[in-house]
Amino acid sequence: MHPILFAIPTPWGELPIYSYGVMLGTSMILGWSIVMYFGKREAYFPNDPKRNEDFLANAFIFCAGMALAGSRVLYMITNPDEFDSIAQFFAFRRGGLVAYGGFLGGFFAAIFWVRVRQGIGLLRFSDGAAPALALGLGLTRIGCYLYGCDFGGLLPEDAPGWLETAGTFPHWDDNTGSPAWMYHVQEEGLSQSAEHSLPVHPTQLYESLAGFSLFGLCLFVWSRRKFHGQVLLTLAMAYGVWRFLIEYVRDDPGRGEMFGFYTSQLISLAIVPIAAFAYFQENQRFNLKPYKVVRLGDPEPTPPADPTKKTDGDEEKAEAKEAEESLEETSADAAADASSGTEAKPESRTSGKKKKSKK
């Protein structure tokens, strides 16, 4: 486990670069590429590729920022004791984000930026963002594992050795962690001199594998996409079921609990039926009035030709037209000359006869 990947020396001391922050940044970069890739093929503004790119870039920045804010806000709501000042809200390097908060924050941001401001179908746009969400889940959970947060419950005694190794987190040198070690010292009676935590389920890796699997599912649905929203709604249902179940395996504190369920389970109980109902409705709407949708593997749309820019074909056509016009002019002149010569000959013969008669 490597909570700090490396440190950057500065005049004010070393600046630690946390593994969770690196994985979060990586997910943002790859998410940008994914949204731009699918957005170019959707061609929301087919006659203006530049406007299409600007729209995608602005939408991603706004929605990603609101997703970060939403994930942080939900974490603060469920863990208010961890925040002593407003400044700690921006300390993302050590984690402290809730996936569902990010999904909801990004979704409501898309409603405002995409649907309200641009008038573009929300489900159509969200299909392009769904693979980025799934891949981001897989990457950020690796960051959680490297930091040691979001760990699972104790493993049974007959668990395989490789799983115990993967689920054992160390006692940090500064005597502050890891989170699993600290939790076991406080709640499970682990000795403070212990070098490692008790073996637990590495739920971070479980969720990371689930994220990569959901990413593959999104690409599969994209390749067979039937209607707008199919990719996003499939992801929402699949992740909702997965998240509800994995919460029973997790054991990290501060997840919030109400009515016998954890916060994420309650959100799952709301999202899954809503997504299933929307999936059924959109499918029925498509069956009643089919429309063409872009699928994975379709070629990128060809941008419209610039009317002010001449191509090689246009130049050849222009040259051929000029040659034809020149030939027509030459033929017309020749015909005119021939006509003039024919009319002049009779006149000359008549003049000759008149001269002879005078003699």
Lowest-confidence region among 62-76, 126-140, 329-343: 329-343
Count the alpha carbons within 13 Å of 162 in the hemisphere toward its beta carbon: 0
pLDDT confidence of residue 270: 94
Average pLDDT over residues 36-60: 89
Q: Which residues, at least 6 apart from 130, have a Cβ–Cβ distance to it below 8 Å?
A: 218, 231, 232, 234, 235
Average pLDDT over residues 142-166: 90
Whole-number Å distance between alpha carbons of 144 and 211: 13
pLDDT confidence of residue 92: 57
In the predicted structure, residue 326 carries a pLDDT above the cut 80: no
pLDDT confidence of residue 11: 82
pLDDT confidence of residue 44: 87
pLDDT confidence of residue 127: 94
Maximum C-alpha span of the chain: 152
The full DSSP string for 300-330 is PPPPPPPTTS--HHHHHHHHHHHHHHHHHHH
pLDDT confidence of residue 329: 63
Asked, for residue 303, whether it belongs to a domain, the answer is no
In the predicted structure, residue 307 carries a pLDDT above the cut 70: no
Lowest-confidence region among 2-6, 10-14, 293-297: 2-6
> For the chain, what is the mean pLDDT?
82
Higher pLDDT, 337 or 150: 150
Asked, for residue 351, whether it belongs to a domain, the answer is no
Structure-block tokens of residue 348? 């000359």
Which tens digits make up the pLDDT trace of 17-35?
Answer: 788 888 888 999 999 999 9
Lowest-confidence region among 185-189, 215-219, 266-270, 346-350: 346-350
> What's the structural domain count of the chain?
1
pLDDT band at 355 (very low <50, low <70, confident <90, very high): very low
pLDDT confidence of residue 354: 47
Asked, for residue 86, whether it belongs to a domain, the answer is yes
Whole-number Å distance between alpha carbons of 299 and 158: 52
Q: Which residue has the tokens 């992801």?
A: 235
| In contact, 159 and 78? CB cutoff 8 Å | no
Whole-number Å distance between alpha carbons of 283 and 334: 72
In the predicted structure, residue 133 carries a pLDDT above the cut 80: yes
| 315 CB burial (10 A radius; 0-12, 13-18, 19+) | exposed
In the predicted structure, residue 316 carries a pLDDT above the cut 80: no
Whole-number Å distance between alpha carbons of 45 and 200: 51
Question: Helix, strand or coil for residue 148?
Answer: coil
Of 4-13, 31-40, 86-95, give the range with the top mean pLDDT.
31-40
Domain holding 89, by residue range, is 4-153+201-288
pLDDT confidence of residue 132: 94
Start-to-end CA span in the chain (Å): 132
The full DSSP string for 66-112 is HHHHHHHHHHHHH-GGG-SSGGGGG--TT----HHHHHHHHHHHHII
Whole-number Å distance between alpha carbons of 70 and 108: 10
Asked, for residue 309, whether it belongs to a domain, the answer is no
In the predicted structure, residue 96 carries a pLDDT above the cut 60: yes
pLDDT confidence of residue 356: 47
pLDDT band at 325 (very low <50, low <70, confident <90, very high): low
Average pLDDT over residues 264-270: 93
In the predicted structure, residue 84 carries a pLDDT above the cut 80: no
Asked, for residue 55, whether it belongs to a domain, the answer is yes
Question: Helix, strand or coil for residue 179?
Answer: helix
Average pLDDT over residues 168-179: 80
| In contact, 43 and 301? CB cutoff 8 Å | yes
pLDDT confidence of residue 85: 64
